Amino acid sequence: MKIDFTKMEGLGNDFILIDDIEGYIKKQIDFSFLSKKLCSRHFGIGADGIIIINNSELNDFKFTIYNSDGSQPQMCGNGMRCFAKYLYENKMIKKKKFTIETKAGTIIPEVFTDNDDKVELVRVDMGEPILIPSKIPFVTQNERAIKEKLFFDDDKEYVEVTAVSMGNPHAVVFVDDIKTINIKSQGQKIENHERFPEKTNVEFVKVVKEDELIMKVWERGAGQTLACGTGACAALVATYLNKKCLNKVLIHLEGGDLEIEWNLETNHIYKTGPASFVFSGSIMIFLDIFY
């Protein structure tokens, strides 16, 4: 079976985009298995996840994503920018602002183009942050999960987190020196903590000033990545709730910068940043290796 694909990246967070508008591929293969094979950086194409382009009965298109470990998150901000750029530049849609169905609800991206009608930036209406702990989900008796202590190693060690959902769960940790944090060790512990029933993404944040943050991320199901769009949104929300920043900030990630704004009147989060084409190709999949 031959599968055509396009590899794209948003601030170094890379994805394999597959057009399955007709639904043919889904009938032939399990996308969870396919993602694990294709995302392998040694035996596959290499990526943080695969994104499937589907028709939607509710919106212009449907966005489905699988992590490199085969798990299926609700949404991905960097992936959504790649998705929007792909749709527009491949003339699958003519509008510059459109609606996308995701497991986290309807997401609205808007593309900004240059004189050659190429997408330079994508601004995504990420919707409203979810702060009710049971809906994140996060286990606590408090109305909001701000400065919650997570204990490890028989209560000898703890870390303070603020929990937010942007359609997927996030734990935001504030640090004084982001260079000394062991992202893998700390990230894995927090991701799998029992107070996050569905596991969680983890953002380590240093506040530079009231409109500027530095962030490193450990993603649920993907490990340490160069950027996370929903994570950047959660970082702003958590930092604002802790009275450490304004409602609009520039966030420096390892893969580049994102501008995040929390419109306090509408309660919507807006994320603006780039997305880039890497390469296109096709790959032969022998179905018997998956089962």
| Residue 57: strand, helix, or coil | coil
- Residue 110 C-alpha from the chain's centroid: 17
Q: Mark whether 39 is an active-site residue.
A: no
Distance CA 129, CA 239 (A): 13
Distance CA 217, CA 256 (A): 13
Q: Mark whether 82 is an active-site residue.
A: no
Q: Residue ranges of the alpha helices (H) in 51-203?
A: 77-89, 183-191
Distance CA 84, CA 62 (A): 11
- Determine the length of the chain: 291
Distance CA 237, CA 129 (A): 8
- Residue 141 C-alpha from the chain's centroid: 28
Of 39, 82, 228, 245, which one is the catalytic site residue? Answer: 228
Considering only the C-alpha atoms of the chain, give the largest distance between any 2 of them, rounded to a whole number of Å.
60
The DSSP secondary structure of 153-195, one letter per residue, reads TTTTEEEEEEEEESSSEEEEEE-S-GGG--HHHHHHHHHT-TT
Of 76, 82, 233, 245, which one is the catalytic site residue? Answer: 76
Cis peptide before 137 (omega within 30 of 0): yes
Q: Could you list the active site residues?
A: 76, 228
